[in-house]
Structure 1
Amino acid sequence: MTRLRFELKDTSKIQEDAIKALDGVIGVQFAKGQLQIVLGTSVHKYYDIALQMLDLKEDIAAPAQPEKKKDFISWFMDMVSGVFGPIVPAIAGAGMIKGLMGGLVALGVVSNATDTYKIIDMLASGVFTFLPFFIAASAAKKFKTNQYLAIAIAATLMYPTMVDAAKAGEISNFMFAGILPIPVFNYSGSVIPIIFGVFALSYIYKWVDNIVPEAARTVITPTITLFISGFFALTVIGPVGIYIGKGLAWMLDVLFGISPIFAGVVMGLIRPASILVGMHHAMTPIALENFATKGYDMLMPMMFIANLSIVGAAAGCYFKEKSQKERSIVLSSVLSGILGITEPALFGVLTKYKKGFLAATIGSCVGSAFIGAFGVRLYGYITSSIFSIPAYIGPYFIYAAIGWVIAFGLSFVLSYLFVVKMDRS
């Protein structure tokens, strides 16, 4: 998380230039119906200060007011970042362990038949197997509904009777009352079904709560809500979510089927721009679906390539700055980018140097095309930083490393050659 986000009643009062002039502010955006102030890795410090200045509590309920209508893309991006942002530490930590162990097994350093491996795998795979529970809790907070009922919906989808039947593959449906089929799916590690399920729960809960007498709401409201929401999740939302996930995976397979190189070019082209406009979180559900269904993902290595391209282009700009103050800002953004936070480099450097941004995009395309050609993949969700490099250990490591050099080196050289030297002193 690198941005402080505000939802304002009156956007005409925003003094964008004054905000940009403040020390510590990297950039300002108005996107997805929000004022987004890019602050980098120190955002949590400013968030705490903002709470104190505004005399707010972190879990304060928003004042009742007519909600501004958002277009679907804005709503979707806000939803994805709101749901996945809080659970990133869990999936990133588990993904790092899983990726590292997968690489060691592939190299023959560790055997997956040993008890040691099985214990470590429990640490790593537990998060991904029971991912619907994490998503349910986070989605409930995002959709402003009861977290425990949301977790109950996840428990319904993840109940062993359902999961075991799906794994056995002997039946395709359970029959409710002998007439209504309940499709059998393995929801372990799924993403889309539980998000849709909690979204539906948020409306069902409000509707039930409004029609139940106040004296009976404590017991009756959750009972009716759980029955309707759970039944709806099992019969409609869950299966639809599964098919949507399979559809996304199919489109990705088609893209890679046409040509892994072409897929790399497409990913490399859109990734830097998607970070710039705050749409980069859209890839997270697809990557998680890949891990759940295939056991590996080829998108996340390309995300790391894009990050290194951005860092390389910013590093090239460093040598084009004569102002010592500006050079220190650029250097700081390069260091942040190496650690996986690229917003400082994008907003603080590459939005000023348009040719630098173009250099980053070219490096991202070429680097992603290279690793796509050699099938570089990961076996667990990780953050895109140098600390993630051990997760690449395995048969594809050498190709990944060459891709990193291409991405950083090409972006650096192009940026250095074509960005005009600036004197801000």
Structure 2
Amino acid sequence: MANNNRLDAEKIVDAVGGSGNIASATHCVTRLRFALHDEKKVDKQKLDDLDVVKGSFSANGQFQVVIGQGLVDKVYAEMVDAAGIGTATKEDTKSAAEKNLNPVQRAIKTLADIFIPILPAIVTAGLLMGINNILTGSGIFYDGKSFVDVHSEWKDFASIINLIANTAFTFLPALVGWSAVKRFGGSPLLGIVLGLILVHPDLLNAWGYAEAKEAGKIPTWNLFGWHVNKVGYQGQILPILFASLLLAKIETFLNKRTPDTIKLLVVAPVALLVTGFLAFTIIGPVTFGIGNAITHVFTGIFDKVPALGGLIYGALYGPLVITGMHHTFLAVDFQLIASIGGTFLWPIVALSNIAQGSSALAMMFITRDEKVKGLSLSSSISAFLGVTEPAMFGVNLRFRYPFFAAMTGSALGAVYITVNKVMAPSIGVGGLPAFFSIVPQKWAPFFVGMAIALVVPFVLTFILGKFRKQKA
């Protein structure tokens, strides 16, 4: 087996342009990740012909080759030895890959680097909130009553689930602060503290801001005649993002110029004090307004022409994944949740997952290639559970028409659920289990949308596949 792994590794190195084309290489759980000097030298056909390769794609400046869990470790070890390139960490490869990115791609990658590490906490919270919604939503099990209304002994159990689920969203600025300050080169611990400062209990809760404003009861600080709103930023993304960037820059600046003997007394206190004041006086109010403007833009489109909004986002989400730009919409989802109590974008993402899986599954019945059959089945299951990259890059994009069929099914399903105002109170598990994170009162239209996303791509892919065979 070791010899086979060695041979596979040598062939992969040759297919990506040889060892001289590899700036850096690492691996994750399932994929080899390359920072290449010139991606035009990659021979994708050679890669596709290798049994060990399940797919390949380029994203965020990295060329990634899907191998599979477990086996990727062995192939990587052989590849490092065969190519003489030396091992590298993920951060090394990311840094090398950034040289291939333009400014827009770097900005998108930065957002991805910030949000991806906190997604497990957010997805878990979304799933738990879904369970709480099932227990407390009226009309699901009993007419006009919730499960806990009829079975009161479950009420406190549901309350604990809700508390656990809400924590990640209540202290979201702390999670983002940790990840963002780390990404910007500062101390993650200071990022956590900064996030907690923005949601301190002494501040007016952000979710009560609108009501307090209408009642004229917003508390303020009087800074030598300058009245600053004493408001928290629960669930807000932009304030903590910009504040984290400032904190990291100040900390880095002070670390370079402060003697080691007094760093503990100077760096962290000054960085937090300056950032904290600016966060409440300038950064917070300005970005809070920008966040609300973004919310109004999206809610305006989906309120006035929901079918158009659903059609565009449903069709384009797949292509956005290819570019990596889909990560930027996480900030919009968080902003919508904080502003209106839910997001109408995330349910569309779930339908896109399903549509990609459905197209990949159809390919299993069309192709005669045993490797493609196996990849189609495994990748479709993955997509149905919310992870679409294997289906997209391993199957659908390779044959093209399955990808367009998936876009069509996703768009049509999205139109239906947006017209019926399907909402998710949180970001949760994607794919088929996504209904857990949908408001229970909107399960029925969401299930119809899921059916559309399942049937349309499968049928279109099957018909187009048969037509192409006959034409050939």
TM-score normalised over the length of structure 2: 0.79
SS at match of 1:158: coil
- CA gap of 1:393–1:132, structure 2 versus 1, over 3 A, is closer
Which of 265, 268, 276 is matched with 1:230 structurally?
Answer: 276
How far apart, in 2, do the equivalents of 1:155 and 1:51 lie?
A: 46
What's 1:93 paired with? 124
Unaligned runs of 5+ in 2: 1-27, 81-85, 140-144
User: Conserved in 2, the CA contact under 8 Å of 1:4 and 1:47?
Assistant: no
1:74 to 105, 111, 117: 105
**Counterpart amino acid of residue 156 in structure 1:** I
Q: How many angstroms does 1:130 deviate by?
A: 0.7
State the secondary structure of the residue aligned to 2:221. Answer: strand
Matched residues in 2 for 1:265 and 1:42: separation?
36
Does the 8 Å CA contact 1:153/1:233 hold for their aligned counterparts? no
Q: Which residue of 1 aligns with 2:218?
A: 171
Q: 2:195 is matched with which residue: 148, 151, 154?
A: 154
Verify the 8 A CA contact 1:38 1:343 in the aligned structure 2: no
> Of residues 375, 378, 392 in structure 1, which corresponds to 2:424?
378
| 8 Å Cα contact 1:135/1:191 also seen in 2 | yes
- Residue 128 in 1 paired to residue 169 in 2? yes
Deviations 1:301-354 (A, max 9, x none): 111111111112222222220122221111111111112111111111111222
CA distance, structure 2, for counterparts of residue 143 and residue 7 of structure 1: 23
Distance 2:268 2:439 in 1: 48
Map 1:315-354 onto structure 2 (within 5 A).
315-354=361-400
Q: 1:187-266, aligned counterparts within 5 Å? A: 187-266=233-312
1:83 paired residue number: 114
The 3-state SS of whatever aligns with 1:221 is helix
* Unpaired runs of at least 5, structure 1: none
> C-alpha separation between the residues in 1 aligned to 2:332 and 2:78?
34
**Alpha-carbon distance, 1:76 to partner:** 2.5
Change (3 A) 1:229 1:23: farther
In 1, the alpha carbon distance for the partners of 2:347 and 2:30 equals 24
Distance (Å, rounded) in 1 between the aligned partners of 2:219 and 2:456: 51
SS at match of 2:367: coil
CA distance in 2: counterparts of 1:161 and 1:146, whole angstroms: 25
Q: For residues 348 and 419 of structure 1, what CA distance do their matches in structure 2 show?
A: 17
Match of 2:8 in 1: none
How far is 1:183 from its partner? 3.3
Aligned-partner Cα distance in 2 for 1:73–1:219 = 38
- 1-structure distance, mates of 2:292, 2:74: 38
Work out the CA distance in 2 between the residues paired with 1:6 and 1:418. Answer: 33
Query: What secondary structure sits across from 2:247 in the alignment?
Result: helix
Aligned partner of 2:62 in structure 1 is: 35
Report Cα offsets for 1:363-407 as digits up to 9, x if no partner.
111110011111111122202122333333622111111111111
CA distance in 2, matches of 1:45, 1:360: 29
Aligned-partner SS, 1:86: helix
1:61 and 1:20 map into 2 onto residues whose CA distance is 23
Against the structure 1 CA distance between its residues 182 and 61, is the aligned structure 2 distance closer, same or farther, given a 3 Å change threshold? farther
Counterpart Cα distance in 2 of 1:74 and 1:280:
12
Partner-residue secondary structure (3-state), 2:386: coil
The C-alpha deviation readout for 1:243-268, integer Å capped at 9, x for no partner, is 22212211111111222111110111
The structure, 1 or 2, with the larger RCO (C-alpha pairs under 8 Å, 6+ apart) is: 1
Q: Assess if the C-alpha contact under 8 Å between 2:30 and 2:69 holds in 1.
A: no
Identity %: 24
Report the residue type matching 2:120 in the other structure.
P
1:110 matched residue in structure 2: 147
Give 1:118 shift. Answer: 2.2
Say whether the 8 Å CA contact 1:3–1:37 is kept in structure 2.
no
Q: In 2, Cα distance between the equivalents of 1:11 and 1:323?
A: 31
Q: Distance in 2 between matches of 1:43 and 1:270?
A: 33
The Cα RMSD (Å) is 3.3
The Cα of 1:227 is off from its aligned counterpart by: 1.4
Pair 1:180 & 2:226 matched: yes
The 3-state SS of whatever aligns with 1:349 is helix
Q: CA deviation at 1:94?
A: 1.0
Q: Deviations over 1:91-143 (max 9, x none)?
A: 11111111232244333323489433322211111111011111111112222
- Return closer, same or farther for 1:282/1:47 CA change in 2, 3 Å cut-off: farther
Q: Distance in 1 between matches of 2:111 and 2:68?
A: 20
Post-superposition Cα deviations, 1:168-196, rounded to whole Å, max 9, x if no partner, equal 551364222x2334333331121221111
Tell me which residue corresponds to 1:278: 324
How far is the alpha carbon of 1:162 from its aligned partner?
Answer: 1.9
CA contact (8 A) 1:192 1:241 kept: yes
Inter-CA distance 12–57: structure 2 relative to 1 (3 Å threshold)? closer
Tell me the distance in 2 between the aligned counterparts of 1:41 and 1:80: 27
- Structure 1 pair 237–393 and aligned structure 2 pair: CA distance change class (3 A): closer
Structure 1's 225 and 77: CA in aligned 2 closer, same or farther, altered over 3 A?
A: same
CA distance in 2, matches of 1:43, 1:150: 35
Alignment partners' CA distance in 2, 1:239 and 1:25: 50
Q: Which has the larger radius of gyration?
A: 2
Matched with 2:464 is 418
12-21 or 84-93, which moves further after superposition? 12-21
Query: Does structure 1 retain, via aligned residues, the 8 Å contact 2:184–2:245?
Result: yes
Task: Quote the offset at 1:90 in angstroms.
Answer: 1.0
Which residue of structure 1 aligns with residue 9 of structure 2?
none
Residues 60 and 328 of structure 1: CA distance in aligned 2, closer, same or farther (over 3 Å): closer
Q: Distance in 1 between matches of 2:251 and 2:75?
A: 32
Give the aligned partner of residue 448 of structure 2: 402
